[in-house]
Amino acid sequence: KQEVTQIPAALSVPEGENLVLNCSFTDSAIYNLQWFRQDPGKGLTSLLLIQSSQREQTSGRLNASLDKSSGRSTLYIAASQPGDSATYLCAVSPANQAGTALIFGKGTTLSVSS
Amino acid sequence: DAGVIQSPRHEVTEMGQEVTLRCKPISGHDYLFWYRQTMMRGLELLIYFNNNVPIDDSGMPEDRFSAKMPNASFSTLKIQPSEPRDSAVYFCASSYSANEQFFGPGTRLTVL
């Protein structure tokens, strides 16, 4: 059974720091991996989608990498800002069930202080 | 596009009452998903549809839960009768083919 783990559960950094959020999954047979942001009391905002054939995706100050063989993904945030404070969720889609439900990690709650 | 629309945004009800949550997916999307988020268990799939047909309902907790998708632009999740342990945030999401999923704002359900 696929399990997704995110470490650390919480992270506090000063504004301007570059940071890395980690995501690991137990079964390397995935179709894609998606990173989301969730603000308190709000829904999920999709940040980046990485297909299983890709190694990384970039959007602005965000860069997500994928190493399927080791079951790991990282989300790199450059020059962090207080507005980046939120919970970041990693989710994978199983390879044998394309288009099916995402399996989520519990998230990393990021706090960026000014 | 307005994104995925869910209603109501908040629902407070008493144990034993029927609850109906509604979702309008993004136009053109052929997959619709219902998830539930709790502090203890995080985000978990309840059921998903492809072209209005339920494909996997293995996450539906018990017979008290049912979901329908009568057409491509509307889905409901019903709980009857509701129990306090059903209190959670329920999210609807949609996608085109097997690609990026887009989530609605969620419905916060409180069962007293």
C-alpha angle B31/B92/A52, rounded to 5°? 50
Place of tokens 């059903």: B86
Cβ atoms of A46 and A34 within 8 Å: the answer is yes
**Chain B residues with beta carbon closer than 8 angstroms to that of A44:** 91, 93, 103
pLDDT for position A1: 86
A89 contacts B43? CB cut-off 8 A? yes
**Chain B residues with beta carbon closer than 8 angstroms to that of A2:** none
**Chain B residues with beta carbon closer than 8 angstroms to that of A98:** 98
B100 contacts A49? CB cut-off 8 A? yes
Q: Shortest CA distance to B48 belongs to which of B23, B28, B27?
A: B23
Question: What are A109's strand-pairing partners?
Answer: A10, A87
- Report chain A's mean pLDDT, rounded to a whole number: 93
CA gap B36, A20 in Å, rounded: 27
Q: Is the pLDDT of residue A62 over 80?
A: yes
| Residues 6+ away with beta carbon under 8 Å from B85 | B111
Does residue B84 sit in helix, strand or coil? helix
Give per-residue pLDDT as tens, B55-86: 989 899 889 999 999 999 999 999 999 999 99
**Chain B residues with beta carbon closer than 8 angstroms to that of A36:** 103
pLDDT for position A48: 96
Average the pLDDT over each of A1-10, A33-42, A92-101, B83-92 and give the range with the smallest value: A92-101
SS (H, E, C) chain A: CCCEEEECCEEEEECCCCEEEEEEECCCCEEEEEEEEECCCCCEEEEEEEECCCCEEEECCEEEEEECCCCEEEEEECCCCHHHCEEEEEEEEEHHHCCCCCEECCCEEEEEEC
Q: How far is CA A39 from CA A43, A96, B112, in A?
A: 7, 31, 26
Cβ atoms of B93 and B104 within 8 Å: the answer is yes
The count of CB pairs under 8 A between chains A and B is: 54
Mutate one of B4, B10, B37, B43 to test the A interface: name it (highest A CB count within 10 A). Answer: B43
Residue of A nearest to B51 (CA): A99
Q: Shortest CA distance to A104 belongs to which of B9, B29, B93?
A: B93
Q: Is the pLDDT of residue B45 over 70?
A: yes
Q: How many other CB atoms are found less than 10 A from the CB of residue A87?
A: 19
Give per-residue pLDDT as tens, A66-96: 999 999 999 999 999 999 999 999 999 987 7
Which band of pLDDT confidence, cut at 50, 70 and 90, is reported for residue B97? confident
B95 contacts A42? CB cut-off 8 A? no
Give A15→chain B minimum CA distance, Å. 28
